[in-house]
């Protein structure tokens, strides 16, 4: 793929990857939902996700693909393209938040299927990191457009300008570093976003570790 095409459409590729991971996650819930847990809250929550995956996703998935194709062939400066990409990103992030809380419930009320939670965590983690990278980038370019300055800072030379890859890399750096490789916020809103990202990452890493220990002990 030519570098220019990739640079112009990187958001579409990111959202397509997140959509595929979330589809596999929903399929996994559907495949194991009948033996998830005897807990009523977990059972009802998973049942809702299964119904969403079986009834709504088959309708939404073609629509998402059509929107992605529309955005692919639309000018990058198009307002409608920007609105559609932002709307899809918000929808995917909303589902991520729902699954985040459900994964925490699965730890409090362990399902009978011991493999399902760790599978969901491994599918969830790249979605979370990709979307946080997008959020950082989107907030920064919005601030630059409005105020002429960035709200996030990178450790790089003054003549370098961060690109989308740098924001996604900063997000993935949270796997191995609490400082995000020198990535910092200049405003209260930026620092709050980094703090929320850190909380979610510590939570998911803790859940993954506890599930791995549980599987090893079993």
Running DSSP on this structure, what letter comes out for residue 34? G
pLDDT > 90? residue 213 = no
Q: What is the pLDDT of residue 69?
A: 92
pLDDT at 39: 59
Contacts of 166 (CB under 8 A, 6+ apart): 154, 156
pLDDT at 38: 55
Give the pLDDT confidence score for residue 125 in this predicted structure. 94
Contact in structure between 68 and 15 (CB atoms under 8 Å): yes
66-103, pLDDT tens digit by residue?
A: 999 999 999 888 899 999 999 999 999 999 998 898 88
152-176 burial: b if 16+ Cβ within 10 Å, else e: bebeeeeeeebebebbbbbbbbbee
- What is the average pLDDT across 137-163? 85
Q: What is the Cα–Cα distance from 165 to 1, expressed in whole angstroms?
A: 16
User: In the structure, what pLDDT confidence band is assigned to residue 1 with cuts at 50, 70 and 90?
Assistant: low
Whole-model pTM: value is 0.88
pLDDT of residue 168: 94
Percent helix / strand / coil, the chain, rounded to 5 = 80, 0, 20
pLDDT digits (tens, 9 = 90+) for 19-69: 999 988 888 877 665 454 555 666 677 777 777 777 888 888 889 889 999
- DSSP 8-state code for residue 140: H
Domain count, the chain: 1
The alpha carbon dihedral of 133, 143, 194, 25 has a sign of: negative
Domain that holds residue 85: 3-217
pLDDT at residue 148 is higher than 80: yes
What is the band of 116 on the pLDDT scale with cuts at 50, 70, 90? confident
Confidence of residue 156 (pLDDT cuts 50, 70, 90): low
- Which of 50, 47, 51 lies closest to 37, judged by CA? 47
Give the number of other Cβ atoms within 10 Å of residue 184's Cβ: 15
């Amino acid at each position: 793929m030519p570098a220019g095409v990739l640079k112009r459409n990187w958001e579409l590729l990111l959202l397509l990857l997140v959509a595929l991971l979330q589809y596999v996650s929903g399929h996994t819930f559907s495949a194991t939902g009948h033996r998830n847990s005897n807990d009523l809250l977990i059972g009802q929550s998973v049942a809702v996700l299964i119904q969403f995956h079986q009834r709504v996703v088959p309708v939404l998935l073609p629509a998402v693909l059509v929107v992605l194709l529309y955005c692919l062939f639309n000018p990058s400066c198009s307002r409608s393209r920007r609105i559609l990409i932002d709307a899809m990103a918000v929808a995917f992030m909303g589902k991520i938040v729902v699954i985040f809380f459900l994964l925490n419930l699965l730890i409090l009320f362990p399902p009978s299927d011991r493999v399902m939670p760790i599978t969901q965590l491994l599918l969830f983690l790249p979605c979370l990191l990709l979307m946080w990278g997008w959020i950082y980038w989107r907030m920064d370019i919005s601030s630059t457009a409005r105020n002429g300055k960035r709200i996030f800072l990178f450790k790089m030379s003054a003549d370098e300008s961060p690109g989308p890859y740098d924001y996604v890399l900063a997000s993935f750096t949270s796997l191995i570093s609490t400082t995000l490789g020198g990535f910092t916020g200049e405003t209260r809103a930026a620092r709050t976003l980094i703090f929320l990202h850190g909380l979610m990452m510590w939570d998911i890493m803790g859940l993954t570790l506890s599930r791995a220990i549980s599987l090893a002990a079993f």
